[in-house]
Structure 1
Amino acid sequence: MSTTIAKTETTEFVNEIEAIYEQPVTYKLRASSTWVTKPNKERTIFESLATIDLADKKNYTVQPKNPNPPPIHSIWLERFWFFYTVSPPLIIHALWYYIVPENNYFHTWHPLFAFLFYSVAFFLIITRIADHCHYYMKYYGTFDEHNRPRDYVPDKLVTRLVMSVLIYILARTGGGLLLGGYDRNSPPSLGHTISWFFPIKIGVWLIVLDFFFYSYHRMTHTIPFLWKIHSLHHCTKHPTVLQSILAGDIQELIEIFLIPLATSFVLPLTVHEFWIAQCVLIYMEAGGHSGIRAYWPHIILYEVLQPFGMEICIEDHDLHHRYGKSGMNYGKQTRVFDRIFGTISERIECLQK
């Protein structure tokens, strides 16, 4: 009986999406995720680390249809939260140089120490972002939850997920130090290692990055052999926070290394500006894969792009995953290039925004 109901729900959902986009959509059944039910002492180290991605149980069960439109989440509340979450590592770094005397051997930070410090800080920020998203996933609910809830990470991909997160942290931290030209004699400071206009500078950097990402991302959905590379990331149509990082080796090489590298050639950032930009990137990636049912736009670019209908919100990338290989909504930071090249999909629940 339960199997019949599940098939009926899946068929109805597929028909709904096909009617919206007038194209066929494939929909996979859930893969096995037995690791979630294991006692903590029986989990492997990878399964224990993967629990960072677990939201409230409510988000993994079908919920009644919410008749109300998604609420508008306060962008200024998010900007405040982001500031006090991301700034401590920069403040600690600056205070160290201020407190420790210049004639002390430990006054400056060796590049290796800086790499370790910012890697640990990045990991802690990722866990904070995950908890933040989980709170609002429970508070607001998630998109399409009346048809299908969020998907657990499958058993066979738990190790891959954790390794992807670790690679992301180490590569982005090390890459930032190299691309930003880390100078051990220059601690974080406004007007020096961080421009007074850094929100504008980082905002432009993100738009440039989104152009490179859009170009690559669209090709992965249209060229068959590239889709084979990208399809691992689309193993779920209702992902969760850390599944934003889940990818194969070649995709990781392109997204973690090559795209930020190309962007930095166009618009270089200082090492500390790069740090802030990476935190914005992972914040937007996590939110875009959380499915939080709210109108929740970009914390830097919203006011600039909204008048042109180019602002991105959580539902846009959530629809990208539901739409699967057929595409639409290829941008991750904006809808600039989706708007220009006609690959925007209409929002379903945030239509009035």
Structure 2
Amino acid sequence: MSTTTTTTTRTRTKSTGMEDKVPNRGRMTSSWHLKPSSQYDFAERMLVALGIAPETSSNPRPPPPVYPKSTPVPVYPVWKMHRLVAPQAAAPLLVHHFFTYFTGIQVPVYVATTLYLAYFIWYGNGVFRWCNDMANKFGTFDGASARDGVPDADTWGVVLGLLMVVVSRSLIAVPYLYDPSTPLLDLKTVLMMPVNMFMFSTAVDFWFYWYHRLMHEVDLPYLNLWQYHKKHHLTKHPIAALGAFADHEQEFFDMVGIPILAWLTWRINFATWWFSTCYILFIEAAGHSGLRGYFQNPSTWILRYFGAELCLEDHDIHHRQGWKKSGNYGKQTRLWDTIFGTKKDRIEGTPDNINWDDPMDEPQPVPQEEK
């Protein structure tokens, strides 16, 4: 089959020479990154530093490839995800463990909290950059529709939301779960890590599923929960950073309520919580990126054999559907969507349209549009 690379047509502004295809979309208009960098405010500079801006006046780049929906979807293997995330999640634990083992010094709680928080911010920055770079390299689902950028009206809100995602979880969990007097990495913790990560991720998803579903479906005269979630759904084609584009009530439950309920459901120690949380953040960010690939949750991959695995297309479809017809309420699995009948069919990543022989090493040539 003959192939050719397609590009999208864009116009350029006279003031910056940058590509400018920002339609009149009201609340979701995103044009801040097209300004000269000297005009950025602090929030906009932070978004650029985090690698969230799709392009800037000083760093223009071509748009991501756009594939017809019938083009086979490449696979990002589970082992590659583990290779990406596991070393980064393990690094601070191993340094901490061997420091105490060889020196006999127990790291105080306040020192551990500060260091793990700083590391988690660095790690989260890398996750968002990775998602953006991969989406730009391999394209996105429903690729003919442009992805929403961080809106001009809420750059500060997104920056603070992203920061609070990592800060809140660390400041609450590390002081509570970390005990300097107990071994950090004993044999039982290491051997049970895969099981406990699976169970904790599933517990997170159970509570998220129900609170998420209720926000979509409870519409009573004196109790309309959609009002706390509708801001998040202004984006129909989000990017990774827009996981933090939400009302304050939703942000609180995402950052604090759901993790606490999950821990009360399946109690894990500090090391397992840390490992699990690194994976959960990775899936939350990737799930909003739209990255076009068969991309499972590496903590719950076994659910694929029960037709209940989560892939990136699932949450992408959820955002496109709207208020009461979204479905796909889970964000770590599709287990509860499967059990409670809210699972939606995939469009591009169907079983007969997945290319298991393409492990997403290099983008494939873009097939000519079907006539």
Alignment partners' CA distance in 1, 2:158 and 2:310: 25
Residues 64 and 135 of structure 2 are in contact (CA less than 8 Å); yes or no, is this contact kept in structure 1? no
Gaps of 5+ in 2: 1-8, 11-24, 355-371
Which residue is 1:212 aligned to?
207
Residues 124 and 166 of structure 2 are in contact (CA less than 8 Å); yes or no, is this contact kept in structure 1? no
Alignment of 1:304-323 (within 5 A): 304-323=302-321
Which residue is 1:39 aligned to?
36
**Aligned AA for 2:293?**
A
**Aligned AA for 2:86?**
F
Q: Does 1:173 align with 2:173?
A: no
Alignment partners' CA distance in 1, 2:338 and 2:47: 36
Alignment partners' CA distance in 2, 1:42 and 1:90: 41
**Aligned AA for 2:230?**
S
Which residue is 1:91 aligned to?
94
**Aligned AA for 2:180?**
R
Q: Does 1:255 align with 2:254?
A: yes
Residues 59 and 150 of structure 1 are in contact (CA less than 8 Å); yes or no, is this contact kept in structure 2? no
Q: Does 1:332 align with 2:335?
A: no
Alignment partners' CA distance in 1, 2:208 and 2:310: 14
Alignment partners' CA distance in 1, 2:40 and 2:122: 22
Identity, % of aligned positions: 29
Could you tell me how far 1:150 is from its partner in structure 2? 1.1
Which residue is 1:266 aligned to?
265
Alignment partners' CA distance in 1, 2:54 and 2:88: 20
Residues 60 and 149 of structure 1 are in contact (CA less than 8 Å); yes or no, is this contact kept in structure 2? no
Per-residue CA deviations over 1:42-90 (Å, capped at 9, x if unaligned) read: 2122111122223467686783636521111121111111112222111
Which residue is 2:127 aligned to?
129
Could you tell me how far 1:256 is from its partner in structure 2? 1.3
Gaps of 5+ in 1: 7-27
Alignment of 1:1-353 (within 5 A): 31-51=28-48, 52=50, 53-55=52-54, 63=66, 65=68, 67-99=70-102, 101-102=103-104, 107-146=105-144, 148-180=145-177, 182-186=178-182, 188-191=184-187, 194-224=189-219, 225-302=224-301, 304-325=302-323, 326-352=325-351
Could you tell me how far 1:155 is from its partner in structure 2? 1.0
Q: Comparing both chains, which one has the higher relative contact order based on Cα–Cα distances under 8 Å and sequence gaps of 6 or more?
A: 2
Q: Normalising to structure 1: TM-score of the pair? A: 0.84
Per-residue CA deviations over 1:231-260 (Å, capped at 9, x if unaligned) read: 111121111112112222111221211111
Alignment partners' CA distance in 1, 2:168 and 2:255: 7
Q: CA RMSD in A?
A: 2.4
Per-residue CA deviations over 1:107-146 (Å, capped at 9, x if unaligned) read: 3222221111111111111111122222321222100112
**Aligned AA for 2:76?**
H
